[in-house]
Amino acid sequence: MKGFDFEEERIKQEITKLGAKRVLLQLPEGLKPEGPRLAKIIEKSGALPIISADPCYGACDIAVNEAESLGVDLIVHFGHSKLVKHEQVPTIYVEARATVPVDEAIEQSLPLLSSYTKIGLATSVQHLQTLNQAREILIRAGKTVIIGDSGQMSYPGQVSGCNYSNVKSIADEEEAFLFVGGGLFHALGIALSTSKPTFVADPYDKRAFPINDEAQKILKKRWACIEEAEAAKIFGVFVGLKPGQKRLDQALNVKALAEKHGKAAYLLAAREITPETLLEFPSIDAYVNTACPRISLDASGKFSKPVLTINEFMVASGESSWENMLREGLFES
Amino acid sequence: MKGFDFEEERIKQEITKLGAKRVLLQLPEGLKPEGPRLAKIIEKSGALPIISADPCYGACDIAVNEAESLGVDLIVHFGHSKLVKHEQVPTIYVEARATVPVDEAIEQSLPLLSSYTKIGLATSVQHLQTLNQAREILIRAGKTVIIGDSGQMSYPGQVSGCNYSNVKSIADEEEAFLFVGGGLFHALGIALSTSKPTFVADPYDKRAFPINDEAQKILKKRWACIEEAEAAKIFGVFVGLKPGQKRLDQALNVKALAEKHGKAAYLLAAREITPETLLEFPSIDAYVNTACPRISLDASGKFSKPVLTINEFMVASGESSWENMLREGLFES
C-alpha cells in the first residue's frame, strides 16, 4: 500500500532489541491488506508473526488480552497513536503517517474560510507532519491560526474518533475549524463537539468542503433518538470490553440515574455493539453506550432502538438540556 | 421464556454460597432475551448482574477474560455443558434443559427407521433427560439401541456443535442414527462426522425427517472449496481467540505443512471469523480455520474464499484423501 509510512526498519530494530519471538500485528480495517506483507518482514527478522484479524477501530482496542493469550512478546499496533497508559505487553505504535501532499487541498479551503479570520487547525495522526505547512499557507492568506493542545492527546492539533479535546480547548477563541485529512469521520467529530463552522481539506481528493450540513443531519437524528429514549421504561447500559473503552463506573452511574428516575436498567458487557446485539434483547426499550461514542452517532440509522451516548442520556433523563449538551459536546472528550 | 429450566433457585444458592458480589450472565443467542429477567433475580440476591451481550455459540466461548476484566466473581453460563477444563473464574453451567415432550416425535421417526435395526441415539444437552424415554420407545418397536460414550462429553449420547465423539464411537456398530432435538445443526454434524443415515426427531415440530440430503449438499460445497483451495498460493490460517477454540499448535502445523508444499501461510488470530474478515485480506487465496469448524461448514456460502477445516486442508494439500476424510469426519471430534 503506497501512501503510508509503515516504518519497517523501526519494527525490525524493535524486534531485535527486545529479542521478540512472537509478534502480534494489529491494523485498522483500511490497513489490514498490508498485514501479510508486514508479517513476512517480521518473519524474516526471526519472529513468528500473528496478524490480528478482528476489527480494530482505534488504539482503545489494543489487543493486550489477545497477545497474552497467544504468548506474544511484542504488539505492533498500526494506524493510531498510543492511548492506553500501560499495556501489559510491550507495544509499539506505528502511526502510519501519510505521504500525500496537503498543500493543494489547503489552498482550496481558502475561499471557504474567507469570512473567518481565526482558524483552528486539526488533523488525524496520519497527517500531523503537515500541520506546519498548513499553518503557513493559512498565515500567508492572512489568517490567525491556533493549534490546540489539551495535554490529553499524543500531539497538539491531533483529533481521534472520540477525543476532540484539542479543538474543544480552543473553540472559544476560534471562528472556524479546518480539518486536514480524508473522509467525514473526524471532521464530523469536530463539528459535533465544538458546534463551530468546520471545513475539511481532503488531500486525497485535493478539495475542501464544509461539514456542518452533515453534522446537522446527525444532530436531527440524535434529537429523535433522545426523544424516543425519554419514553423508554427499560434501559440497557453497554459497558465496553476493549481496554480503552471500559467505563464500568460510568455505566453504574447511568444505571443508578435511570433507576432514580423510575426506569429499569441492565448492564450489558460487549466487545462489539452491533444492530444484531440489540435484536437479542427485545424487552429493552433504549440503550446507553458507555463504550465507543461514535457507534451511537455514526451508525444510529442501523439500530432498531436508540443507542445514546452518556451525555445524550443526561438530556433524555432530564439531568441536562439539549443546549447544554451541544455546548459541552455529544460525548465526553 | 417457557420451555426451558433456567434453575433460578440453584443460581441464587450459588451466589449465596460463594458470596458473589458481581455476576456475569452468558447466554447463547436464542436464550439472550431471558437475560434481563435473570439479571433481576440475581440483583435481588444481592449481587450486581452484568449480561454478556457479545455472541455466544458454545461453552468454548466461556467469557473468562471478560469476567476478569470486569472484576466478576461468578460466571453463570447458560445453554451449554462444561467444556473448558479449568476456568480462572468460578463458573456454573445452567444447561437450560427443555421441557417439551419428545414421545410424539420419536413415534414419528419409527416408519423412517423401518429398514434399520441397530439405532444410535443422540441428543443435544437440552434434551438429555429424554434419552431413556426415547430408547424405550425404540426398543418397544424392536430396535437395538446404543447410546455412545466416548468419555469426552459431559453425558453419554450428548453431541455438541463441534464434538460428535459419542456418535463416532459407536458408528461402526450402528445402521442409522436418530437425533432428538430441534433444527438441522446437530443432526447435520452427526451425518457429516459418521456418514451414516441420520434422522431427526424434532420435539418442537412433533415430526421426524431424514437429514442426509442436506448433508450431501454441504459435502458438495465442501468438495468445491477443497478444489478451489488446491490452487491457492497464499493461505491464511485462523487461530481462535475464544478459550475453547485456541489451537495455536495445530495452526503452526498447518502453516508448516502449507510451506512444505511451497505455499505461503499467515497466522490470523480472530475471535469471530466473518465474511467481512476475509474481505480485509485480498491477497490471501484460501483459509484454514483451526477455531470453530462449524463456521467453515455451515456458513461456507457467505464467504468469498474457501475456509477449510484442518481435515479438509489435509485433503487439499494431498496429505489425506477425500474418502479418508469422510471416514474420519470433516473435523476433529
pLDDT digits (tens, 9 = 90+) for B129-140: 999 999 999 999
**Contact: B53, A246; criterion CB under 8 Å:** no
**CB proximity B32 to A under 8 Å:** yes
For residue B2, the model assigns a pLDDT of 74
**Contact: A266, B36; criterion CB under 8 Å:** yes
Among B51, B56, B254, pick the best mutation site for testing chain A contact (most A Cβ within 10 A): B51
Cβ-Cβ contacts under 8 Å, A55 against chain B: 276
Q: Whole-angstrom Cα distance, residue B281 to residue A36?
A: 8
**Structure-block grid coordinates of residue A56:** 480494530
For residue A331, the model assigns a pLDDT of 83
**Chain B window 257-276: which residues touch A at a Cβ cutoff of 8 Å?**
264, 266-273, 276
Q: Whole-angstrom Cα distance, residue A8 to residue A10?
A: 6
Instruction: Search chain A and give the residue with CA nearest B52.
Output: A269
B211, B152 Cβ separation under 8 angstroms = no
CB-nearest partner of B50 from A52, A239, A272? A239
Residue A190's nearest CA partner among A136, A181, A97 is A181
**Contact: A266, B69; criterion CB under 8 Å:** no
Backbone angles phi, psi at B242, to 5 degrees: -75, 145
Distance of CA A178 to the CA centre of its chain: 17
For residue B72, the model assigns a pLDDT of 97
**DSSP conformational letter for B198:** E
Q: Whole-angstrom Cα distance, residue A207 to residue A191?
A: 18
Q: Say which residues have a Cβ less than 8 Å from residue A166's Cβ, sequence separation at least 6.
A: A122, A147, A148, A149, A150, A152, A153, A156, A157, A158, A159
For residue B95, the model assigns a pLDDT of 96
Residue A159's nearest CA partner among A221, A80, A105 is A80
- How far away is chain B from the Cα of A274, in angstroms, using its nearest Cα? 9
Q: Say which residues have a Cβ less than 8 Å from residue B269's Cβ, sequence separation at least 6.
A: A24, A50, A51, A52, A53, A54, A63, A66, A70, B238, B239, B241
CA distances from A291 to A68, A186, A257, B125 (A): 22, 18, 18, 35
Res. A297: pLDDT tops 70: yes
Residue B76's nearest CA partner among B124, B123, B130, B31 is B31
**CB proximity A151 to B under 8 Å:** no
Residue B52's nearest CA partner among B91, B82, B5 is B91
Res. A200: pLDDT tops 70: yes
Q: Looking at the DSSP assignment, which residues form a beta bridge with residue A91?
A: A75
pLDDT digits (tens, 9 = 90+) for B270-288: 999 999 999 999 999 999 9
Q: Whole-angstrom Cα distance, residue A46 to residue B162?
A: 35
Instruction: Search chain A and give the residue with CA nearest B42.
Output: A266
Q: What is the pLDDT along chain B (333 residues), one digit of tens a residue?
A: 679 999 999 999 999 999 999 999 999 999 999 999 999 999 999 999 999 999 999 999 999 999 999 999 999 999 999 988 888 899 999 999 999 999 999 999 999 999 999 999 999 999 999 999 999 999 999 999 999 999 999 999 999 999 999 999 999 999 999 999 998 999 999 999 999 999 999 999 999 999 999 999 999 999 999 999 999 999 999 999 999 999 999 999 999 999 999 999 999 999 999 999 999 999 999 999 999 999 988 888 899 999 999 999 999 999 999 999 988 888 877
**CB proximity B224 to A under 8 Å:** no
**Contact: A268, B51; criterion CB under 8 Å:** yes
- How far away is chain B from the Cα of A135, in angstroms, using its nearest Cα? 36
**Contact: B269, A70; criterion CB under 8 Å:** yes
Q: Say which residues have a Cβ less than 8 Å from residue B224's Cβ, sequence separation at least 6.
A: none
Three-class secondary structure of residue B76 per DSSP: strand
For residue B333, the model assigns a pLDDT of 73
Handedness of CA B132, B135, B137, B140 (dihedral sign): negative
For residue A1, the model assigns a pLDDT of 65
Q: What is the mean pLDDT of chain A?
A: 95
Among A37, A60, A268, A289, pick the best mutation site for testing chain B contact (most B Cβ within 10 A): A268
> What pTM was estimated for this model as a whole?
0.93
**CB proximity A70 to B under 8 Å:** yes
CB neighbour class for A172 (10 Å; exposed up to 12, middle 13-18, buried from 19): exposed
pLDDT digits (tens, 9 = 90+) for A241-261: 999 999 999 999 999 999 999
User: B10: how many CB neighbours lie within 10 A of its CB?
Assistant: 13
**CB proximity B41 to A under 8 Å:** no
Q: Which helix (H) or strand (E) holds B246?
A: none
B170, B120 Cβ separation under 8 angstroms = yes
For residue B301, the model assigns a pLDDT of 86
Cβ-Cβ contacts under 8 Å, A70 against chain B: 239, 241, 246, 248, 269
pLDDT digits (tens, 9 = 90+) for A103-160: 999 999 999 999 999 999 999 999 999 999 999 999 999 999 999 999 999 999 999 9
Q: Whole-angstrom Cα distance, residue B82 to residue B119?
A: 27
For residue A176, the model assigns a pLDDT of 98
HSE-up of B155 (CA within 13 Å, CB side)?
20
Place of cell 473503552: A245
**CB proximity A65 to B under 8 Å:** yes
Instruction: Search chain A and give the residue with CA nearest B279.
Output: A33
For residue B331, the model assigns a pLDDT of 83
pLDDT digits (tens, 9 = 90+) for A30-58: 999 999 999 999 999 999 999 999 999 99
**CB proximity A41 to B under 8 Å:** no
Number of cross-chain residue pairs from A and B with Cβ atoms under 8 Å apart = 134
